[in-house]
Structure 1
Amino acid sequence: MPPHRILAASSLIALMICSAASAASAASAAAAEVCPARPGHSPRYVDVFDGTPEEMATLVPDETGRSSGRWQLGYVYEAGRVVTVRCRYDDGQTADVTLSKKVNACVYKIDAKKRLKLSCE
């Protein structure tokens, strides 16, 4: 293979690797945990609202399992509204997080120690 084609091929491979790494990084950033970290305390429950909690439009997960579940949320944003998550911690405290940028779904998982993690993408 001529040297200029080898260089072009290796440049293409490097570009593909960088693109894949960027996509993976963006995916993990987009799926960041929603509930604010509180030293010594972890979320036990979450409520997901179409709008604000005061509007009382609590959403039920579209999929649920023994220790996980998923809400499909794109339609809320398509209707011009936002999603709010209420994180309820093991000490009774709550934190409301408004997801003003569109997310398509939120997923929760509960580990063996009953710690809940909620991520949205």
Structure 2
Amino acid sequence: MARLSLLTLLVGLMSAGSALATTPSVCPVRGNDPVKYISVYNGKPEDLVNLAPDDETDKNPKQDKFTLDYIYKGGRVATIRCKYESGAITDVELKDPVKQCTASRGKTGEVTIRCH
């Protein structure tokens, strides 16, 4: 019985890890219109509180990290503005609290942003 419980726990942990690794980008997919830029806001974009990425000395030049948990502790929400190659803009309000978001730039310049 203990062996079965341990196996169940291990399978659950492995599934959780792989789910985190495959979390979809926050920005909605728009066919052949890739995201080229993102902006991260404390609140709504019209509040004009555009956030800079965290300052990291060992930073990957193709990644930017944004620590956001303090926003939710202050009773606000974070918003991601997705700017597409066509010029289209989509704002995604992150109503559920997230701790951090990581924006990554691909080989062709497309941007993905994942939050956890």
Normalized against structure 2, the TM-score is what? 0.87
* Cα deviation 1:47-100 (Å, max 9, x = unaligned): 100000110000000046421110000000000000011000011110000000
Q: Could you tell me which runs of 5 or more consecutive residues in structure 2 were left unpaired when the two chains were aligned.
A: none
**Which residue number corresponds to residue 93 of structure 2?**
98
Instruction: Give SS of 2:91's match.
Output: strand
Instruction: Give SS of 2:107's match.
Output: coil
Segment drifting more, 91-100 vs 55-64: 55-64
Instruction: Give SS of 1:58's match.
Output: coil
Moved over 6 A (4+): none
Q: Aligned-residue CA RMSD in angstroms?
A: 1.8
Normalized against structure 1, the TM-score is what? 0.84
- Decide which structure has greater helix share: 1
Counterparts of 1:18-57 in structure 2, within 5 Å, are: 18-24=11-17, 26-28=19-21, 31-57=23-49
Distance in structure 2 (CA, Å) of the matches to 1:73 and 1:112: 27
Percent identity for Structure 1 against Structure 2: 30
| CA-CA distance at 1:28 after TM superposition | 4.3
Residue 112 of structure 2, aligned match among 111, 114, 117: 117
Q: Size of the alignment, in residue pairs?
A: 113
